Amino acid sequence: MGKTPLREKGDIAGENDPLKQPQDDIGSSEALDLVSTQKQTRVTHPRGGSWLEIAGMTDAEFTRFSRFIHDQCGITLPPAKKAMLASRLQKRLRALGLTSYAQYYDYVFRPPGNPDECTKMIDAVTTNRTEFFREPHHFEYLRSQALPSLLKHRRPGTGQTIRLWSAGCSSGEEPYSLAITMAAFISERPGLEFSILATDLSATMIAMGQRAVYGEEKIRSVPFQLRKNYVMRGVGSQKGYYRIVPELRRRVQFKRLNLMDPNLDTGSVMDIVFCRNVIIYFDRETQQRLFKKIFDRLASGGFLFIGHAETLDGINNNFVRVAPTIYRKPAERSAVTPHRL
Ligand SMILES: C[S@@+](CC[C@H](N)C(=O)[O-])C[C@H]1O[C@@H](n2cnc3c(N)ncnc32)[C@H](O)[C@@H]1O
């Protein structure tokens, strides 16, 4: 990428014209209605007609769904979350014209099973809130501490590609914030490259990340100078929408990946892992297993960033804490050389 400026202006349409696709999901990752199911079964549709009557979720139904969600995604839903789960799944019931959670359970799980609907169900229950440069001190630490330290320990001529992984990337704001930070960093360091793996359980989030189109509200948290260099502005009918420049989109590989997967195929060993605001929904045992897998997939001397409400305290692990919510895999005495897993 060298010193070539990445700035582009004007029309963001072009290849595949993402803005011709339905717009209602752009930036609406938190568009989740948390009203209790019981209430919604009795209201009238705002545009006339009435809602399909849906029977309230029983405790037994809640247990069946929450057990599956825990086993499949690691997400723990205590009984107090019953109304929230019912509300989130209600959209699927309405879309399918079903009137009870028992019918929906059957629809998803009756042999041979329904993988497509299972994916949609998981999409409905995950919380995808995210933003560009969320917890900005992490990006500052990456730029000023982590990257210089990683490079200092590199043997000359080896490891000229820094590999980053956004684990639980949601709709792409986190991996693109990393890409923007990295692009600005390497613009002063000829020969240095980077690649980013962005993974999430939710197929919808992965698709949004690949489109890389965001509304004005979202783009506002990208620092002005970086926005000028790495974000394209829509014009005409696309006014108010923004897209990450192709040079950065090419460096971010999106992939659907369940962090519960025992094999957790990341392809390469990683130098930097951002796994933020994901484990907050996992129980201790699931967290323990996940951090062991992340540790194994990090190069020696590599860094792990977690969310501000998260901690590795009480988890048996070999990470060294280097700053609040930032951890490091101890460096081996020999220089770090990336290799395939
Ligand atoms: C709250 S968002 C956090 C996004 C971003 N990391 C951030 O901090 O802004 C959590 C993301 O983790 C994903 N997630 C939850 N459980 C997962 C799992 N078992 N495997 C992969 N991703 C998961 C969700 O789909 C969601 O997009």
Task: Give the CATH number for residue 89.
Answer: 1.10.155.10
Domain that holds residue 265: 136-328
Q: For residue 168, how far is its CA from the centre of ligand 1 (angstroms)?
A: 4
Between the CA of 277 and the centroid of ligand 1 the distance, in Å, is: 7
Q: Which is nearest to 301 in space by CA: 82, 155, 175, 89?
A: 155
CB atoms closer than 10 angstroms to residue 78: 7
Length of the chain: 341
In the residue annotation, 88 being an active-site residue is answered as yes
Nearest atom in ligand 1 to the alpha carbon of residue 29 is 27
Q: How confident is the model at residue 336 (pLDDT cuts 50, 70, 90)?
A: very low
Active site residue 271: no
- Of the three residues 82, 101, 125, the one that is the final residue of a domain is 125
Co-location of 49 and 171 in the same domain:
no
In this structure, what token pair is assigned to residue 149?
A: 């330290």
Choose, from 92, 134, 163, 200, the residue flagged as catalytic. Answer: 200
What is the Cα–Cα distance from 259 to 293, expressed in whole angstroms?
9
Model confidence band, residue 18 (pLDDT cutoffs 50, 70, 90):
very low
Averaged pLDDT, 45-49: 53
Does the C-beta of 275 come closer than 6 Å to ligand 1? no
Query: Which pair of structure tokens corresponds to residue 300?
Result: 């020696």
> Average pLDDT in the 128-148 region?
97
Is 92 inside a domain boundary? yes
CATH number at residue 295: 3.40.50.150
In a domain, 216, yes or no: yes
In a domain, 12, yes or no: no
Ligand 1: which of 121, 197, 199, 201 to mutate, judged by most atoms within 8 Å of the beta carbon?
201
202 shares its domain with 292: yes
3-state helix, strand, coil in the chain (%, to 5): 40, 20, 45
Residue 197 pLDDT: 98
Cα–Cα dist 231/227, whole Å: 5
Q: Is residue 19 part of a domain?
A: no
CA distance 56 to 216: 38
Distance 202 CA to ligand 1 centre (A): 8
% of the chain beyond a pLDDT of 90: 72
**Residue 341: is its pLDDT beyond 60?**
no
pTM of the entire predicted model: 0.84
Residue 130 Cβ < 6 Å to ligand 1: yes
Q: Is 20 left (phi over 0), alpha (psi -120 to 50) or beta?
A: alpha
Is 177 found in the same domain as 107? no
* pLDDT tens-place string over residues 157-202: 555 899 999 999 999 999 999 999 999 999 989 889 999 999 999 9
For residues 70 and 206, membership in a common domain is answered with: no
Q: Which atom of ligand 1 is nearest to the CA of 205?
A: 27
Predicted confidence (pLDDT) per residue in 314-332, tens digit: 888 899 999 999 999 998 7
Using CA atoms, how far apart are residues 310 and 88, in angstroms rounded to an integer?
25
Confidence of residue 281 (pLDDT cuts 50, 70, 90): confident
Distances (CA, A) of 292 to 39, 119, 275, 288: 43, 26, 13, 6
- Do 207 and 300 lie in a common domain? yes
Same domain, 222 and 300: yes
pLDDT at 338 over 60: no
Q: pLDDT of 62-102, one tens digit each?
A: 999 999 999 999 999 999 999 999 999 999 999 999 999 99
Q: Are residues 99 and 200 part of one domain?
A: no
| 191 shares a domain with 80 | no
Domain stop point among 69, 97, 125: 125
Q: What is the mean pLDDT of the chain?
A: 84
Q: What is the pLDDT of residue 49?
A: 53
What value does the mean pLDDT take over residues 264-272? 94
Based on the domain organization, do 251 and 201 belong to the same domain?
yes
Contact predicate 244/208, CB 8 Å: no
Distances (CA, A) of 61 to 67, 79, 85, 262, 338: 10, 11, 11, 28, 47
Q: Which residues contact 193 (CB under 8 A, 6 or more apart)?
A: 1, 160, 161, 162, 186
Task: Tell me the best of 170, 252, 283 to mutate to test the pocket of ligand 1, counting ligand atoms within 8 Å of each CB and taking the most.
Answer: 170
Look at residue 5 in the predicted model and tell me its pLDDT: 35
Ligand 1 pocket check for 122: Cβ under 6 Å: no
Considering its fold, how many domains does the chain have in total?
Answer: 2
Nearest CA to ligand 1 atom 9: 130
- Ligand 1 lined by 286 (C-beta under 6 Å): no
Say what the alpha-carbon torsion angle 141, 268, 162, 245 is, to the nearest 10 degrees: -90
- Which of these three, 106, 125, 144, is where a domain ends? 125
- Please report the pLDDT score of residue 159 as a whole number: 53
Ligand 1, pocket-test mutation among 25, 75, 123, 126, most atoms within 8 A of CB: 126
